[in-house]
Amino acid sequence: MGGTRTLAQTYRRFGEVDAAGKSPLYERVAVALSESGEGLRAIESAPARKRQPAVILAALHDLALAGRAPELAAAYAAGDVDAAADAATGTLLRMTDEVVAIAVRRETRTYETRRCAVLYPAVAEAARRVGARAVGLIDVGGSAGLNLHVDRVGITYGNGQSLGDPSSPVRLSAEVRGDRRLPTGAVPEVVVRVGVGPDPYDVTDAADARWLRACQWPDQPDQPDRQGQMAKLEAELALAAAAPPLLLRGDPVDALPDAFARVPADVLPVVITTWALSDYPLEHRLRFLHRLDEAATGRAVAWVSAEGVGVAPAVPTLGDRRASGHSIVGLAVCEASALRAEAVGRCWSRGRWLAWLGGGGSSG
């Protein structure tokens, strides 16, 4: 009984706090689920870590998008909050096994491509420092491959700077904190794009692409300074599908040698990690560094990271405290088994705000 009460409180809080003012549909649906004893018992049939509102609501949204929950789809399309609450509860009760199966198989995906506003200057700077005329991008952690198209988006920063492709159908914006300007170099030619992860998302696969759509809130209002979330995601998926990356499935550390082998010898491999390493214990993260060291015996290797404070091994923390609300942007270059790692920036909200430092401590 206590567990159900706690779950009810979790869903009510999600509706009244997390979704309030952002998604009227999810605000009403989450509160309705918190008040449904049968609905809460259905949710409890999922593993504990898969009972969170973001996961269950995305699983229900997936069924609606797939045409398997037409009443819910119609309510979402109409923006009818009461009909959506009834349809979501009814779908959950009728299709409990299907909802749980989706929740167990999938991981929720946050808004991905905004990360490129952080990655672009760091990848370009890595290439500049090595003198690389071409790079091979290796994205670790399963970001659906959208990070791998960092060179193909257009980015406008709050300080007036613009980077990337000004003609790109995917336009991003980010605010800049501090008075230091971003480096103006361009990302050189990208000759290979490789995604590495235990379950990488293939944007050309209908089910994978649908899940990325399902993770978006169905009625999240458009932001005044950028495209709506769903419209932007559609543009991103189309961009990625036009040049699908090579996807390597498996433990990222174990698969890295194969990924490096896909990058021609005269091309700089640039490994990207964005909020991925925190899923692994320190021992595993140190093995990741060892893989970089192994790959750098015959050529330079770069690593660009955006991770929580203290998560990326060898990247300085600048004296910042863990769980401080922001992340460290790291840039590491490994040549002849010598690693030089710097903290080149701080970022907030997965790329909404960026403070470029252009340096920091080093680790060798």
Q: What is the pLDDT of residues 183-200, one digit of tens each?
A: 999 999 999 999 998 888
Q: Report yes or no on 236 lying in a domain.
A: yes
Q: How far apart are CA 147 and CA 155, in angstroms?
A: 14
Pairing mode, strands 268-274 and 301-308: parallel
- The pLDDT value given to residue 4: 63
Q: How many domains does the chain have?
A: 2
Q: Is residue 53 part of a domain?
A: yes
Note whether residue 222 is domain-resident.
Answer: yes
Query: What contacts 291, CB < 8 A, 6 or more positions away?
Result: 253, 256, 257
Residue 173 placed within a domain? yes
Task: Please compute, for residue 294, the number of CA atoms within 13 A of its CA located in the half-sphere on the CB side.
Answer: 14
Q: Pick from 15, 215, 218: which is nearest to 103 by CA?
A: 215
Final residue in a domain of this structure, among 37, 72, 105 = 105
Distances (CA, A) of 334 to 42, 127, 179, 304, 363: 50, 12, 29, 12, 11
Residue ending a domain, choose from 55, 87, 105: 105
As averages over each run of 10 residues, the pLDDT of the chain (364 residues) reads 77 96 95 97 96 97 97 96 98 98 87 82 96 96 77 95 95 92 95 90 89 88 52 85 89 93 97 91 94 91 96 94 90 90 93 81 38
| Residue closest to 134 by CA, chosen among 193, 191, 194, 195 | 191
On whether residue 294 sits in a domain, the answer given is yes
Q: Nearest-5° angle of CA 307, CA 311, CA 312?
A: 75
What's the rounded Cα separation, in Å, for the pair 228 and 138?
A: 28
pLDDT of 337: 74
Same domain assignment for residues 262 and 124: yes
Residues 140 and 250 in one domain: yes
φ/ψ region of 131 (left if φ > 0, alpha if ψ in -120 to 50, else beta) reads left
Q: Is residue 2 part of a domain?
A: no
What is the DSSP-derived secondary structure letter of residue 14?
Answer: I
Both 204 and 329 in one domain: the answer is yes
- Examine the domain organization and report whether 95 and 135 are in the same domain: no
136 and 61 in one domain? no
| One-letter amino acid for residue 31 of the chain | V
Show the beta-strand stretches assigned E in the chain: 134-140, 154-157, 162-164, 171-176, 189-197, 246-249, 268-274, 301-308, 327-335, 338-348, 353-356, 362-363
pLDDT value for 290: 93
Q: Which of 49, 79, 105 is the last residue of a domain?
A: 105
Are 13 and 74 found together in one domain?
Answer: yes
Residues 137 and 45 in one domain: no
Take residue 6 and report the two structure tokens written for it.
Answer: 């706690």
pLDDT given for residue 223 in this prediction: 45
Predicted pLDDT of residue 338: 86
Same domain, 258 and 146: yes
Tell me: do 35 and 94 sit in the same domain.
yes
Strand partners, 272: 139, 304
Q: Are residues 136 and 206 in the same domain?
A: yes
One domain, residues 323 and 281: yes
C-alpha atoms less than 13 angstroms from C-alpha of 228 in its C-beta half-sphere? 13
Do residues 293 and 269 lie in contact, with contact meaning Cβ atoms separated by under 8 Å? no
Same domain, 11 and 29: yes
Asked if the structure places residue 364 within a domain, the reply is: no
Classify residue 362: in a domain, yes or no: no
Q: Global pTM?
A: 0.85
Range of the domain at 249: 114-356
